[in-house]
Structure 1
């Protein structure tokens, strides 16, 4: 709010900051509604399952039956029912984990829950890969790996889950050339381009594509100019055209980095809570790892809790390209996760057999 008041376009910035509290209220409302059984969690799971299934089927139909996509204008990416909005992978990278988390909670005593969950996630991450959204695929991939490491104590289940996961990914990479070219070959071309100057490079390989690099540099310069309060929420898109910050690829709605966006738009005041939450989760994950390794006896997170906490942690991870922090539908998904995190942690003894 302070950043918006001090911004160059107060009313534009206030539209993002003043009403941002609605997402926090949404998270608490989600917790309250489920806690007080105003809406059946089992019914929510069934409806959500059908919705995710429809999205997956729409992507499969698009891939199998349409060369020139019926849903969007590019045949190298899948969008399903999102049509020209290329966000199918980003949506599934969060929604998939929420779906399997609810399943794991409702059927906590099911002896096959690990295999069912990781099989389902393997299918869903395959769709994310086919969507062509690289950051969504990386986020989902890291989430699954971290969840595996922090939850599975049985070596047999761990290895079997890893095998299923690798089999699905290998099959998708092998069978779909277009997705493979976009996810790997095109990325390598971007990173190995000799026609760009990038300080984030190692042995001739750029660690960031030039467009991300220039946006990040612009955001960093904005932060240096207003380090304490920033230029105001959602103001990157307006300030980036200033001659002090502009370059060929610098202007966009956001710099594709959560931390640099918050630094440039909200300054130290806005970034501090995010950093503290991220560090706290790192500490808790370390304690959970000690439990899995049988060094400590106290379990920090239940399996279903990790299925929603880890994607939230990856959302806060500083080295993955991100969407606009103030994006409406993305914020709804993130705060829906937070609502379920609050519910799960406060109802550990109520998981259904």
Structure 2
């Protein structure tokens, strides 16, 4: 069912749709300001229209409960209440940003098309800049590559694979919303396969192993969904897969150093995980959690507690973050906070996937599942959806799949006609 959304998006603000990807990608400060301004503007429009129906969504009520727990229970018991206070008070901006985009911005076909066009162009710019750095060691902005096997692209840090990981599966929805691709099934499938192949090559060349694992796993799910939804095109899909496989093998063969870094080292890292740097960081996070089992040490206090207890001094590593969302939630908010967050996630997945699965809309369901899971899979490392630059992209993805889940399947711009099929 299409949710009634009476809030009007100001026509003069349509430029925002074209700027949104760049606003969230290229500067931590600008991304945070964008998130806050969108949340505040949405609250103002909701107040003026006296429309608060969006608050009644079960997943949003669950996140409000989690936020209340942080404020009433976790904060007073924090090991560093002054540090926790600013993060607890500002946490609500993330879910408000997601609701604002899904309920207010992505609520019709034209807006979704504009956003996707901007997203594709922005991603192409980042990909081209990063590949230039791969071949010439310096990108268009004079930024040098991080190391022989790690790239930065325009970000100055070795994170281009991690950043775009949150966007690839949103961008794949272009197959269903942009007229150039949705005019025939073969165009849709070709776009999806070429985009996934390009994403694999890009992520492989960045040297980011976890991003590559997550991207590849999600692509497998999407491909299975494509086989389920378009059974009559099975031969075409398998032919595309074979051609794509040959291209990827050539890429691996031509990049032996990256093959060692991005593929071979995954096996060696996993085989000695307990003794690896990841194993040491996980053990430290587990120790902090054990010491504050039920209620946690306080939001955004892991680094302080880890340093005070000198948990990583023997390994020579720094106490930055646990490289695992759920270990961080456990250490900082305890079992109670983790359970509340997991309950919110359950309701979010149910909301996003329920209608799509009921309609047997396998590809959109797989894409939506992938958008969420590349950020919330238990082994996803190096991010926080609570206070992080990447968090803006995570909640952007949540906003997108929430909007997709509320689109009426009978909308003419969503489905191919029988003739086109």
Output the TM-score relative to the length of structure 1. 0.82
- Picking from 141, 153, 163, the partner of 1:91 is 163
Q: Structure 1 pair 41/139, CA: closer, same or farther in 2 (3 Å)?
A: same
Structure 1: 5+ residue stretches without partners: 192-204, 292-297
* Superimposed CA distance per residue, residues 88-142 of structure 1 (whole angstroms, 9 cap, x where no aligned partner): 0001111111111243244556312123112111102210110001111111011
- Picking from 122, 130, 151, the partner of 1:59 is 130
| Structure 1 position 52, deviation (Å) | 0.6
Alpha-carbon distance in structure 2 between the residues aligned to 1:73 and 1:110 = 42
Cα pair 1:34 1:343 within 8 Å, conserved: no
Cα pair 2:169 2:368 within 8 Å, conserved: yes
Aligned to 1:214: 280
Do structure 1's residue 129 and structure 2's residue 204 form an aligned pair? yes
Alpha-carbon distance in structure 2 between the residues aligned to 1:311 and 1:36 = 18
RMSD: 3.1
Q: Structure 1 pair 331/70, CA: closer, same or farther in 2 (3 Å)?
A: closer
Q: Structure 1 pair 169/276, CA: closer, same or farther in 2 (3 Å)?
A: farther
Aligned to 2:172: 100
Alpha-carbon distance in structure 2 between the residues aligned to 1:226 and 1:25 = 29
Aligned to 2:114: 43
Alpha-carbon distance in structure 2 between the residues aligned to 1:180 and 1:65 = 19
Alpha-carbon distance in structure 2 between the residues aligned to 1:327 and 1:56 = 26
Cα pair 1:122 1:164 within 8 Å, conserved: no
Secondary structure, in 3 states, of the residue corresponding to 2:314?
coil
Aligned to 2:239: 160
Alpha-carbon distance in structure 1 between the residues aligned to 2:328 and 2:120 = 33
Cα pair 1:105 1:351 within 8 Å, conserved: no
| Structure 1 position 66, deviation (Å) | 3.0
| Structure 1 position 280, deviation (Å) | 6.9
- Picking from 299, 302, 310, the partner of 1:233 is 299
Alpha-carbon distance in structure 1 between the residues aligned to 2:89 and 2:354 = 37
Aligned to 1:194: none
Alpha-carbon distance in structure 2 between the residues aligned to 1:87 and 1:19 = 25
- Picking from 331, 338, 341, the partner of 2:398 is 338
Count the aligned residue pairs: 332
Q: Structure 1 pair 281/343, CA: closer, same or farther in 2 (3 Å)?
A: closer
Aligned to 1:111: 185
Do structure 1's residue 183 and structure 2's residue 262 form an aligned pair? yes
Alpha-carbon distance in structure 2 between the residues aligned to 1:218 and 1:171 = 41
Aligned to 2:99: 28
| Structure 1 position 28, deviation (Å) | 0.8
Output the TM-score relative to the length of structure 2. 0.70
Alpha-carbon distance in structure 2 between the residues aligned to 1:67 and 1:247 = 35
Cα pair 1:104 1:117 within 8 Å, conserved: no
Q: Structure 1 pair 225/123, CA: closer, same or farther in 2 (3 Å)?
A: same
